[in-house]
Amino acid sequence: MAGSPPEGRPAGRLRRGLPALGVFVLFLAGWEGIVRLLHIQFYLLPAPSEIVANLLGHASFLLGAAWYTAQEAFIGFALGCALGILVAVVSVRWRAVADTLLPYSIAANSIPIIAFAPLAIVWFGVEQGSKIAIVAMMAFFPTMVSTIRGLLSPDPASLELMRSYGATPRQIFLKLRAPAALPFVFTAFKVAASISMIGAVVGEFFGGVEHSLGVYIISQASLFHTREAWAAIILACAFGIAFYLVIVGVERLVMPWHVTLRR
Amino acid sequence: MSMPPRAMIAVDHVSQWFGDGAGRTTALQDVTMVIAPGEFVSLIGPSGCGKSTLLRIIGDLIAPTEGRVRVNGKSPREARLARDYGIVFQSPVLYDWRTVLRNVELPLEVMGFPRQEWAERAERMLALVGLEQFRAHYPWQLSGGMQQRVSIARALAFSPPILLMDEPFGALDELTRERMNQELLTIWAQTHNTVVFVTHSIAEAVFLSNRVVVLSPRPGRIEKIVEVALPHPRGSATRQDPRFFELVTRVRAALRVE
């Protein structure tokens, strides 16, 4: 189409984002309008304006609590992903390890890890340690399974090409398997980033320090201080989304060649 | 030396079968041939006749069940490790995450060429296949024919004496294929590689080769070897030459023999 900016350019991306933004604004306006028109009690559903006012009123406490919780999410994410990649690399190098571990890993992946939260507190303490452990476990499995799939993704011809060069296993790993695995690894990172903030907040529901988002949400909600709880929830969402977007940004930097990023 | 002195590739009573017992399929049966240095030889035959298998045995991608291959006075494995082969597959097999230039540099990196030689050699090869202005492109930004030219440049980057080509233009349309044939001969005139070229196109085999080796349907045996004495350089006039048609007819007749 003549004159329209190509997709992917900032202007094109903005234009594509407009409908979503419009829906968001309409949703907020509708929410605000219904709460006001129907005189809904604030403890049932506070209006967005009230939530925002509350958020701004408690900004310094809330940001501090969110940062505390986000630290658990980041560190747990980093540990879980690093461990997942490590185990994947070892499994692919020694196939016997993969054959032994993979069935258990896939089975373990379906365990609701959050159920271990009370035990994690027993093992790692009521402070950040237990939440980091939960987030790390949640991030570990998708990262490991995806990385293994990625490392095994090169087709036979790509491997034969390396063989025809007399490449060493190390060269095959560094120049073929690792770059081929990157898209899989980043897909896993995006999944793990999204669940790590959730894991940290929910982990705190089972016990934590007062200046953390999870404990704050639980305690405020139990007092019917719903505006406070909503403000904290929105901040948790914002941090989760920001984390996800950071991963997307890194992905674009690291692999501009990938099919999903092509213009 | 039991082999003739001027053999670049000597295939000696090679047979290949896959599986065992009732499920055993014989892909090649007692194939013997000699390819001289600088010769361009095509292997042609119906699907499943083992022509690709023969190429893969020469290139040490599989080991023959019986018989022996000598390449440049060495076993195929020694020849592979001595970087005697450039291989071009049916699909270009370019690595998505590398630019065109970096794809051509790949064998140089793996084989431990000095770093300062990489770009210079790769750019010379890209110029040879006429893609120097696409050095910074990614493979997916190129057409199928251009991708296959990159793969040829990559196969030639480390100056191997032998080029093994496994239906490299099979996925291209007829016009692109004819243009690629022409370009391949131009390149070959400069590099003087020994070329083993697998194809199922009779015209392509005759146009390119010094000799066309016709294989029989499974199990693959050498049915006939057709000498192609057409003069070089070959071009569009070659395709109009009555001798060209006569050779095409002879190869076609050999392919139909039971």
B231-237: Cβ within 8 A, 24+ apart: B232/B185, B232/B189, B233/B185, B233/B186, B233/B189, B234/B185, B234/B207, B235/B182, B236/B182
Q: What is the pLDDT of residue A4?
A: 42
To probe the interface with A, which of B58, B74, B97 has the most A CB atoms within 10 Å? B97
Asked whether the predicted pLDDT for residue A238 surpasses 80, the reply is: yes
To probe the interface with A, which of B90, B93, B151 has the most A CB atoms within 10 Å? B93
The reply to whether residue B61 touches residue A164, judged by beta carbons under 8 angstroms, is yes
Measured between CA atoms, how close is A261 to chain B, in angstroms? 12
For chain B, say whether A18 makes contact (Cβ under 8 Å).
no
- Separation of alpha carbons A204 and A131, rounded Å: 7
Asked whether the predicted pLDDT for residue B75 surpasses 60, the reply is: yes
- pLDDT confidence bin for A159, thresholds 50/70/90: very high
Q: What is the pLDDT of residue A7?
A: 46
Q: What is the pLDDT of residue A65?
A: 86
pLDDT digit string, tens, across residues A46-80: 888 888 888 888 888 888 888 999 999 999 999 99
Asked whether the predicted pLDDT for residue A254 surpasses 80, the reply is: yes
Contact A227, A42 (CB under 8 A): yes
**Among A172-176, B45-49, B186-190, the range of highest mean pLDDT:** A172-176
Q: What is the pLDDT of residue A128?
A: 82
**For the sheet containing B9-18, what is the strand order?**
B25-35, B9-18, B66-71
Asked whether the predicted pLDDT for residue B108 surpasses 80, the reply is: yes
DSSP secondary structure, A23-62, as one string = HHHHHHHHHHHHHHHTT--TTT---HHHHHHHHHHTHHHH
Q: What is the pLDDT of residue A147?
A: 92
What does the pLDDT average to over B94-111? 93
Measured between CA atoms, how close is A173 to chain B, in angstroms? 12
Give the chain B residue whose CA is nearest to the CA of A171: B110
**Which of B69, B73, B62 is closest to B13 using CA atoms?**
B69
The reply to whether residue B61 touches residue A163, judged by beta carbons under 8 angstroms, is yes
Please report how the helices B100-111 and B144-156 are oriented relative to each other, as an axis angle in degrees rounded to 10: 30
CA dist A207 → A126, A229, B18, B185, B252 (Å): 6, 16, 63, 75, 82
A163 chain-B contacts, CB cut-off 8 A: 61, 80
> Parallel, antiparallel, or unpaired for β B211-215 and B40-44?
parallel
Asked whether the predicted pLDDT for residue B57 surpasses 70, the reply is: yes
- Reduced to 3 states (helix: H, G, I; strand: E, B; else coil), residue B86 is strand
Query: What percent of chain B clears pLDDT 70, i.e. is strictly above it?
Result: 97
Q: Could you give the domains of chain A?
A: 61-261 (1.10.3720.10)
Residue B204 is classified by DSSP as H
Using CB atoms and an 8 Å cut-off, which of residues 103-142 of chain A contact chain B? none
Of A164, A171, A257, the CB nearest to B87: A164
Q: What is the pLDDT of residue A263?
A: 54
Average pLDDT of the residues of chain A: 85
Helix (H) or strand (E) holding B164: strand B162-166
Q: Is B23 exposed, middle or buried (CB count within 10 Å of its CB: 0-12, 13-18, 19+)?
A: exposed
Q: What is the pLDDT of residue A9?
A: 59
pLDDT digit string, tens, across residues A219-237: 888 888 888 888 888 888 8
- Separation of alpha carbons B229 and B231, rounded Å: 6
**Rounded (5°) CA angle B67-B70-B73:** 150
Asked whether the predicted pLDDT for residue B106 surpasses 80, the reply is: yes
ipTM: 0.85
Residue B214 bridge partners (DSSP): B44, B224
A160 chain-B contacts, CB cut-off 8 A: 61, 87, 89
For chain B, say whether A178 makes contact (Cβ under 8 Å).
no
Of B61, B98, B140, the CB nearest to A262: B140
Measured between CA atoms, how close is B93 to chain A, in angstroms? 6
A175 chain-B contacts, CB cut-off 8 A: 95, 106, 109-110
A182 chain-B contacts, CB cut-off 8 A: 97
The reply to whether residue A166 touches residue B138, judged by beta carbons under 8 angstroms, is no
The reply to whether residue B97 touches residue A262, judged by beta carbons under 8 angstroms, is no
pLDDT digit string, tens, across residues B218-240: 788 898 899 999 998 898 889 89
What does the pLDDT average to over B87-93? 92
Tokens 């007062």 belong to: A210
A176 chain-B contacts, CB cut-off 8 A: 95
- pLDDT confidence bin for B10, thresholds 50/70/90: very high
pLDDT digit string, tens, across residues B126-181: 988 888 899 999 999 998 889 999 999 999 888 899 999 999 998 888 888 898 89
Asked whether the predicted pLDDT for residue B27 surpasses 90, the reply is: no
- What are the residues of chain B with a beta carbon less than 8 Å away from any beta carbon of chain A? 59-61, 80-81, 83, 85, 87, 89, 91, 93, 95-98, 106-107, 109-111, 138, 140
Give the CA-trace dihedral at A70, A72, A78, A79, to 10 degrees: -170
CA dist A230 → A36, A46, B59 (Å): 17, 8, 67
Contact A189, A138 (CB under 8 A): no
The reply to whether residue B138 touches residue A257, judged by beta carbons under 8 angstroms, is yes
For chain B, say whether A55 makes contact (Cβ under 8 Å).
no
Q: What is the pLDDT of residue A1?
A: 36
Distant-in-sequence, close-in-space partners of A40: CB < 8 Å, separation ≥ 6? A34
Of B81, B110, B140, the CB nearest to A162: B110
